[in-house]
Amino acid sequence: MEDIVADAMARFDVSRCSVVHRAGRIAPGEAIVFVATASTHRRAAYEAADYLMDRLKTKAVFWKREEGPDGRRWIEPTGGDHADALRWGE
């Protein structure tokens, strides 16, 4: 995640980026990820946050498993997640 934040800092005119991703057992509906960016111009902050979320979905190494009525399953990035990342040349 540190590399992803460093990439955002280099790519966008932002002064700060913060990413927190929870781990462990998380109940349905609970917040999982927090992304914050700061910039003198709002557009750069919005774009950096958007970039961070897209990169987290496809490049952050997390073992994500859901448990439901049909049992357990591992979560992988979707085609839509990869398409979103393509906007950034990923």
Helices and strands of the chain, counted as H and E runs: 3, 4
Which CATH number belongs to the domain containing residue 80 in this structure? 3.90.1170.40
Structural domain count, the chain: 1
Q: Mind listing the pLDDT tens digit for each residue in 26-38? A: 888 899 999 999 9
Residues 6-39 as b or e (16 or more Cβ within 10 Å = b): ebbeeebebeebebeeeeeeeeeeeeeeebebeb
Q: What is the pLDDT of residues 55-64, one digit of tens each?
A: 998 988 777 8
Which structural domain, as residue segments, surrounds residue 60? Answer: 2-86
**Residue 24, pLDDT above cutoff 90:** no
> Quick one: tokens of 88?
């950034």
To which H or E segment does residue 82 belong?
helix 79-86
> How many other C-beta atoms lie within 10 A of the C-beta of residue 64?
13
Given a cut of 90, is residue 8 above it in pLDDT?
Answer: yes
